[in-house]
Structure 1
Amino acid sequence: MATPGAVPFDYDSNPDRYRMGSKLSNDHSRINLYARVAARLTGADLVLDVGCAEGVLCEAMPDKRLIGLDMSMPFLRNHPAPRIQANATAIPFRDNTFDGVTAVNMLYHLTDPRPALKEAKRVLKPGGVMIAATIARTDSPEFAGYRTRPPTTFDAEEAPEIVRDVFGEVEVDAWDAPLLTLPTKASIRDYLLVRRVSREAADKAAQELDVPLSVTKRGAMANRSKACLT
């Protein structure tokens, strides 16, 4: 396997790439990852969403007090208050502040996710829950002939072990199923463009693949309660 690397961070320069991906998921996915995360936080009164983007988790848990944290100002402008621009490795809150901390599809942007996980652990109250979610290297295998996804620093294959390094034992919720259906040639093209596939390869896939196309989604969510730490 190639050496894992951090996924490039382009949200300030190209926020529409993320927005297009969110729209595709909202329109065509049969599950809502953020609702799945929210279900793990039913007992949390105050939540910090690290890598909050434009507030998708807020929408999934409108009855909770949630603070968004992100490095991208274009996203934070659209996130409901309260929100703060900060780095995941230097969270500007006191120890034992939050009932829940989430990091959904963002730790792979870091060269080493462990310092961010340690910060999440620090700001969690005793009994608080940390949730980290990410996709697998083998996600969307239907497109294997059109894209190569290099290993990242926080793929689902190793993510539980990385979280375990900081938090101890974790509970893992994994998925591997045809959870998204792309109905048109244009949606196939856009799905690949969101994943940084070249326009040429995306157009080729759109031309060659039949629609509707069922896409296998693979990923994992690791969560851990601080109450059990020694």
Structure 2
Amino acid sequence: MEKESFIRMMGQDWDFFLLPSAGLSGGIMVMQRSDLAYFSIVKTSEQCVIGELNVFNRGVWMITMVYASKETVNRRGLWNLIQEVDHSSIPSIIGGNFNCILAKEDKKGGRRFRFNQGSLEMVKFMNENDFHEAGFVGPRFTWCNNKKGGDRILERLHRCLLNSLAINKIQITMVRHLARVASDHCPIALKMFDTTCKGRSGFKFEDTWLSFREAEHIVTNR
């Protein structure tokens, strides 16, 4: 995508980095509000983009966006590349489509799940590098083959992994699985910072209060 086309769609306040797809598969786009954060590339490969996200007044985070290969042997290159970068010194988050299932509950339909070499290697990577899976809310499965009946397959392929520093910095570590729209993949979202404006709480009025004289004085003063 050209810079001019991106600006026409998103406006001047956004910046991006694009890792092109190979045909119809793969491809990663990183977008950030240029007035809120700066993203600097550390490493890239066909399966991931690793960079430092400097959130103004919020510190630096190591962010890894993943679109992993379906093949176990190719995913080994992904684990090796991520391990080359020091994630232990700053809060770090790895998120995206890992194309790997870790439990039988993560699949519905198709062949029965078996804990295979690919699953073992992903768990080993997480254990050895202090990465922990965040909980989630929303639909369990994040991918569907868009078929019906007995041919329909649902899988949970998308996850967010955080190191201990990131978990300690984020108040509520929870990923939200969003609805699938015009895709076989379900977007996922992790809220890093609480931006809720803490103003005055809303005032509720009950009809039964009309029976009390004091209610008129309370409502008047609100």
TM-score class normalised by the smaller sequence: 0.3 to 0.5
Q: TM-score, normalised by structure 1?
A: 0.35
Higher relative contact order (CA 8 A, sep 6+): 1
Structure with more of its chain in helix, by fraction: 1
Alignment TM-score, normalising by the size of structure 2: 0.36
Q: Computing the radius of gyration over CA atoms, which structure comes out larger, 1 or 2?
A: 2
